[in-house]
């Protein structure tokens, strides 16, 4: 399968807006860090050793057990900078793999729910994404992929410490589970700081849209586990699921409060954002994603018809710099991106609402 499918189509299967608690939870992700026993971790490995990792992983992916997922193998050195950026924007690879990894590659399943990064911080990063709050389902699939690969690869494993990883915070299970949540009402009611502080106190961490070091753009936050050693995968996932369910209830309570006490003001704000997105001729990335957040809340509250969560998820990707430039087929200046972003949003929203652009 060609790489073009992954960089020209904005909507992945996990972005379809379905799944439990999809009005607040955009996606659930499980990522497993693994390394090969007899080779140095990527930061210390030579290029020839990293090439050996690539060859072994690629052979392991050819097993019959993995055939149904129809993986496409993509070496990083065969991609230009725009294509790498698109894959980051779609959460199929990490910024680290795109920017810094030597001899890196990724294997992506046909439905884009599974991506296996090779020679990032660890030899293997197995990632599975599901729509809505489906941590258990994501873990089950990630575990099946992991078991199949382990049957062909000799993992670095210690009887007492568990899976050995480049970063000490991943040692043990090697699992990093995260849930992407949309929390506009908690932000509007200025409760989000208190909620996030409480999350940190129970051993979880909150990051932005693209993970570690990124901003929480568009009121989108990633909540993930911080501890991987000394607890089972099931315990880690159960704890995360329980905390996320509490966050969901807080957000729903905040939404009800806004409707009961400031309905007209809330509807005015959300309708203004919809109007600006439907008619703007230029718009910057940060403003676009913030106003898309307002429209997403309006859709969840039943204020806007015709626009679906899947459309908004697609626009969140399509309006990012990399995808805009891939869509245009050339590098664009910031001003050109702002014009194309506005045009794309205008056309999509008006088409969904049955209007003119």
Model pLDDT for residues 214-260, shown as the tens digit of each residue: 566 889 999 999 877 778 899 999 999 999 999 999 999 999 999 99
Q: How many other CB atoms are there within 10 angstroms of residue 160's CB atom?
A: 4
pLDDT score for 356: 45
Classify strands 220-225 and 204-207 as parallel, antiparallel or unpaired: antiparallel
Question: Which pLDDT score, from 0 to 100, does residue 272 have?
Answer: 97
Known binding-site residue numbers: 27-31, 91, 125, 176-180, 207-212
CA distance 120 to 303: 43
pLDDT attached to residue 210:
55
Q: Which pair of structure tokens corresponds to residue 87?
A: 């894959």
How far does Cα 3 stand from its chain's mean position? 19
Pair of tokens at residue 275: 């109007």
Which helix (H) or strand (E) element contains residue 106?
A: strand 105-108
Q: What angle do CA 237, 244, 95 make, to 5 degrees?
A: 75
Alpha-carbon gap, residue 257 to 254, rounded angstroms: 5
Within a domain: 293? yes
Query: Are the C-beta atoms of residues 130 and 241 closer than 8 Å to each other?
Result: no
Evaluate whether residue 287 is within a structural domain: yes
Domain count, the chain: 1
Measure the CA–CA gap between 356 and 248, rounded to whole angstroms: 36
Range(s) of the domain holding residue 338? 262-353
Instruction: Quote the tokens at residue 240.
Output: 């995360």
Residue 184 phi/psi, 5° resolution?
A: -65, -40
- Predicted confidence at residue 6, as pLDDT, reads 84
Q: What pLDDT does residue 183 have? A: 96
Give residue 208's pLDDT: 72
Per-residue pLDDT at 172: 86
- On whether the CB atoms of residues 20 and 132 are closer than 8 A, the answer is yes
What stretches in the chain show pLDDT beneath 50?
A: 213, 356-357
Pairwise CA distance, residues 180 & 210, whole Å: 10
Q: Is the dihedral of CA 350, 352, 353, 356 positive or negative?
A: positive
Residues in the chain: 357
Would 19 be classed as within a structural domain? no
Query: Would you state the pLDDT for residue 357?
Result: 42
Residues contributing to the annotated binding site for ATP = 27-31, 91, 125, 176-180, 207-212
Indicate whether 17 belongs to any domain.
Answer: no
Task: Say if 163 falls within a structural domain.
Answer: no
CA dist 149 → 30, 84, 235, 353 (Å): 16, 25, 24, 46
Confidence at residue 75, expressed as pLDDT on a 0 to 100 scale = 96
Residue 319 forms part of a structural domain: yes
Specify the pLDDT at position 159.
Answer: 83
Let me know if residue 246 belongs to a domain.
no
């Amino acid at each position: 399968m060609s790489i073009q499918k992954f960089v020209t189509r904005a909507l992945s299967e996990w972005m379809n807006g379905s799944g439990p608690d999809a009005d607040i939870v955009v996606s659930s992700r499980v990522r497993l860090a693994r390394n090969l026993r007899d080779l140095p971790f990527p930061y210390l490995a030579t290029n020839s050793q990293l090439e050996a990792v690539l060859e072994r992983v690629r052979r392991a992916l050819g097993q019959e057990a993995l055939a149904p997922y129809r993986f496409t193998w993509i070496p990083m050195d065969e991609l230009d900078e725009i294509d790498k950026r698109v894959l980051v924007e779609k959460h199929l690879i990490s910024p680290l793999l795109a920017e810094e990894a030597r001899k890196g590659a990724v294997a992506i399943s046909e439905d884009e729910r599974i991506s296996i990064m090779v020679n990032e911080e660890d030899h293997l990063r197995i990632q599975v994404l599901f729509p809505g709050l489906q941590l258990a389902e994501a873990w089950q699939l990630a575990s099946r992929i992991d078991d199949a690969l382990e049957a062909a690869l000799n993992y670095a494993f210690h009887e007492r410490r568990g899976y050995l990883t480049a970063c000490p915070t991943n040692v043990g299970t090697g699992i990093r589970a995260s849930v992407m949540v949309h929390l506009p009402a908690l932000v509007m009611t200025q409760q989000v700081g208190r909620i996030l502080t409480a999350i940190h106190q129970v051993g979880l961490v909150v990051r932005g849209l693209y993970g570690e070091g990124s901003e929480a753009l568009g009121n989108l936050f990633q909540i993930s586990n911080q501890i991987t050693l000394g607890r089972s995968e099931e315990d880690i996932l159960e704890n995360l699921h329980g905390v996320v369910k509490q966050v969901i209830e807080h957000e729903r309570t905040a939404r009800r409060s806004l409707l009961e006490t400031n309905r007209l003001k809330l509807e005015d704000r959300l309708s203004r954002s919809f109007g600006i997105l439907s008619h703007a001729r230029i718009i910057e990335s940060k403003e676009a994603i913030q106003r898309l957040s307002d429209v997403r809340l309006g859709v969840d509250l039943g204020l806007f018809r015709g626009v679906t969560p899947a459309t908004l998820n697609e626009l969140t990707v399509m309006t990012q710099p990399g995808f805009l430039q891939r869509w245009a087929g050339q590098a664009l200046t910031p001003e050109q991106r702002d014009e194309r972003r506005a045009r794309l949003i205008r056309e999509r929203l008006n088409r969904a609402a049955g209007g003119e652009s």
